Amino acid sequence: MATEKGGVYQRGEFWLDLDRGAGGKPNSSSWYIFWYDPGRGRQRRKSTGTADVRLACDALDEHYLAAHRPTSREQDCYTVPEAMTDYWLEHGSKQASAEAIKSRLKLFNRFIDIEADAGRLSDPFIPDHLDERFLERFRQWAMADPIVTRRKNEKGEWIDGSSRPRKASTVEESIIQLKAALAHAFNARRTRYVPPLKHKTRDQVTPQRTYRLSIDGLAELLDYSMTGAGAYAGHADRLIPLRRFLIGAITTLARPDAILDMGVSRERGQWMQNERRFALNPEGRLQTKKVRPVVPVVDLLHSWLTASDEWLVCGQRQRFDEKQRVHLIEQYRVASIKSGWGGAREKLGIPDGWGPKLLRHSMATILANRRVDLIELEIALGHRPLGKTSSRYAIFDPDYLSTIRDGIEDAVADLTKKVGPALHPKLTRTYENVTVLRA
């Protein structure tokens, strides 16, 4: 770090301070990035556009990373925490999985703090100090450290809630994220060395899980989303988002995050009504390794998309329109169906540890058992992405994923016989006169 320039935060040749006038009085509440420009022979400044000092510090870090070229001396003392922070600022925070990346890095950072407090870390803690022994200590600590939920009490204070054991796969994901951060630092020439760390694969740390839902199991879930399980936690109106999620999962085989991201607005470019196709990856979102394919829209999904104002997975609330003197139903987006799924899992006896992704696995198994084309199944699951050029034309072919479409229609027909009312997008407690779908 360069000589202190004043202000509240400094990195390299840049420092953060308020723009001050005569007598040191700030001219505004916004924080500014200051530096000395030797080419112009004077001090320069740039506004961060925020009065929040934490956001301003992030802005300074981003400015530093974009403008600064590391020296050999800086490469020698570039620390592991700095690598994770810079990776988050430049890459992780901009990804669709940003929240997951943040939690993985946070877990490893917390362990580094514990190791430092115990006097087991060198200062500075650079990548060269990472080895398999350190990773093994991290694994043992993380597995023994439970995941504790936080909630507010009646006074509005944050307190610890329920806890659950941390999975071995979750621990390995933090190690994978650490390796990504170190590789990012190496590519940016901030460090000259990346240790050859090894993470354990999911197959190594996760026992094979064979539990699947049958058509009867899916029907029970849909029925639960209609009838609920009590006056409060499972009231049917509160389970509308869960029912919409179930419809999306059954008809698309998509991952949970993709289902929650299904929108019908023209700007998103997802729903191709005339072609009866749906792009699980909205326009403007970069594809990741977990590919979101284009899938055929079966009749059931079409009816639910038609009944959606903006988002497929949404809640509904009723309001009274004073001008029209009628009650209107408003839809609002939901970020999660965790509570609804938790109630359903407990009520129906789904084993602990199975999340909504069970629906994807179950539908894939159901379709495979019905002898759909396995290559088409891989494409529909996003495991076999089509080339960019060929996909432009393939998705408009009438036979595109035809066995998948027929298999889903066949499964829907069986579900209709068992729980027809739950498949109707308009049927709730206030729509008792709606004719339900028939097989």
pLDDT exceeds 60 at position 273: yes
149 or 88: which carries more pLDDT confidence?
88
Average pLDDT over residues 419-426: 88
3-state secondary structure of 163: strand
What is this structure's pTM?
A: 0.72
Which alpha helices (H) appear in 240-286, and where do they start and end? Answer: 240-252, 256-260
Ranges 82-96, 157-171, 341-355: which has the least confidence:
157-171
pLDDT of residue 380: 96
- Of 52, 61, 55, 148, residue with least CA distance to 103: 148
Task: Write down the mean pLDDT value for the chain.
Answer: 89
Q: Per-residue confidence at 54, pLDDT binned at 50, 70, 90?
A: very high
Report percent pLDDT > 90 for the chain.
67
Q: Per-residue confidence at 228, pLDDT binned at 50, 70, 90?
A: confident
Cβ-contact 248, 356 below 8 angstroms: no
pLDDT digits (tens, 9 = 90+) for 360-409: 999 999 999 999 999 999 999 999 988 776 677 788 888 999 999 999 99
Q: Per-residue confidence at 5, pLDDT binned at 50, 70, 90?
A: low
Q: Per-residue confidence at 190, pLDDT binned at 50, 70, 90?
A: very high
Label residues 324-346 b or e (16+ Cβ within 10 Å = b).
eeeeeeebeebeebeebbebbbe
pLDDT digits (tens, 9 = 90+) for 233-258: 445 578 999 999 999 999 999 999 99
Structure tokens at 137: 């200590």
pLDDT of residue 385: 85
Ranges 91-95, 168-172, 315-319, 346-350: which has the least confidence:
315-319
Cβ-contact 348, 227 below 8 angstroms: no
pLDDT of residue 427: 52
pLDDT digits (tens, 9 = 90+) for 284-319: 888 888 999 999 999 999 999 999 999 999 998 877
pLDDT of residue 300: 96
pLDDT exceeds 90 at position 413: yes
Instruction: Give the C-alpha separation, 436 to 424, whole Å.
Output: 6
97 or 176: which carries more pLDDT confidence?
176
Q: Per-residue confidence at 230, pLDDT binned at 50, 70, 90?
A: low
pLDDT exceeds 60 at position 231: no
Q: Per-residue confidence at 229, pLDDT binned at 50, 70, 90?
A: low
pLDDT of residue 4: 43
Report percent pLDDT > 70 for the chain.
93
Which alpha helices (H) appear in 188-298, and where do they start and end? Answer: 202-205, 215-227, 240-252, 256-260
pLDDT digits (tens, 9 = 90+) for 68-124: 899 999 999 999 999 999 999 999 998 878 899 999 999 999 999 999 999 999 889
Instruction: Give rounded-to-5 percent helix, strand, coil for the chain.
Output: 45, 15, 40
Torsion angle, CA of 89/92/96/102, rounded to 10 degrees?
A: -100
pLDDT of residue 6: 59
Strand-strand pairing, 158-164 and 26-37: unpaired
pLDDT exceeds 90 at position 203: no
Before 127, cis peptide (omega within 30)? no
Ramachandran quadrant class, 253 (left: phi over 0; alpha: psi -120 to 50; beta: rest): left
